[in-house]
Amino acid sequence: MTNQHQLQLDRVFHALGDPTRRAVVRRLGQGPASVGELARPHKMALPSFMQHLAALEKCGLVRSRKVGRVRTYRLQPKPLKAAEKWMVEQRALWERRLDRLDDYLLQMKESET
Amino acid sequence: MTNQHQLQLDRVFHALGDPTRRAVVRRLGQGPASVGELARPHKMALPSFMQHLAALEKCGLVRSRKVGRVRTYRLQPKPLKAAEKWMVEQRALWERRLDRLDDYLLQMKESET
DNA sequence: TCCATACTTAGGCATATGACTAACCAACAC
DNA sequence: GTGTTGGTTAGTCATATGCCTAAGTATGGA
């Protein structure tokens, strides 16, 4: 695990730690959308909302392209997968340990007889 | 999805958005540990480190119990699973959409002939 | 050309975060 | 009971975050 990846994970998790930004990720799961479309459901000044978009783009969860005066955002799968991977790995380790613990306790129980 | 759950997710993701706290989670995956044990690998004043533990406990990722003068922390699986679930769901939606898109493009291609 | 649309930039402000030191308890261990 | 260990509280400080308003830019349409 390189430092770069660590920093990336930091940013991704931090980005997801906000309901507005998670809502944006959910929305973009349905397909690309413009700044205006994304902002509409959130009662928040546009510049404030754009900071959230910037955070999402900075951590790579999202990409944008401007055509004419419209900027369109789309979801980017890799960072989400990386974060998911981290959690799945953690859980795997944790569960493996509990399995070993079960074995151990089982052996204890058997050796009682 | 209740507001409570939202808030919980906010806190969990935020908690994971810090390398020190992720390291603690990884460490606790191996089994419970005391404050001192957890703190040792991190060159940071103890009170600073304890703030991280507090953050982890506040979002439910971790629980602690004090016996004598030693406080022992253990991992708590539920919130981690909740966060993982959110991500898996997101990815599922996103991939389903891409599948439909593939179908669509495929149909376009077929109708060309 | 003139106006509306769709963002963008600049700047300000309150609160939250993350780190520190210093001083403080509460159990052991002698 | 005196000192040591393990943790806790209190208080300070710098920076980051998240929101706002006001003003600016650039595109597209009439």
Q: Domains in chain A, please, with CATH?
A: 3-112 (1.10.10.10)
Q: What percent of chain B has pLDDT over 90?
A: 71
| Average pLDDT score, chain A | 88
Asked whether the predicted pLDDT for residue B33 surpasses 60, the reply is yes
Give the integer Cα–Cα distance in Å for A31 and B60. 33
Question: Of A69 and B97, which is predicted with more confidence?
Answer: A69
Residue B91 contacts A where some CB pair is shorter than 8 Å? yes
The C-alpha of B70 sits at a distance from chain A's nearest C-alpha, in angstroms, of 23
A87 neighbors A81 (Cβ within 8 angstroms): no
Residue nearest to nucleotide C9 (CA to C1'): A47
Give the integer Cα–Cα distance in Å for B19 and B40. 15
Q: Which nucleotides of C are covered by protein (CB under 7 A)?
A: 5-11, 17-22, 26-28
Residue A84 contacts B where some CB pair is shorter than 8 Å? yes
**Chain B nearest-CA residue for A83:** B87
Q: How confident is the model at residue A66 (pLDDT cuts 50, 70, 90)?
A: very high
A49 neighbors B46 (Cβ within 8 angstroms): no
A27 CA, C20 C1': separation in Å?
42
| Average pLDDT score, chain B | 89
| Closest C-alpha among A47, A45, A39, A46 to residue A21 | A39
Tell whether the torsion through CA atoms of B8, A58, B101 and A66 is positive or negative.
positive
The set of residues with CB closer than 7 Å to nucleic strand C is A 34-36, 46-47, 50, 66, 69-72; B 14, 18, 20, 43-45, 47-49, 51-52, 55, 68-69
Over residues B95-100, mean pLDDT = 74
Over residues B52-63, mean pLDDT = 96
Q: What nucleotide is nearest A51 when CA is compared to C1'?
A: D18
Q: What is the pLDDT of residues A73-86, one digit of tens each?
A: 999 989 999 999 99
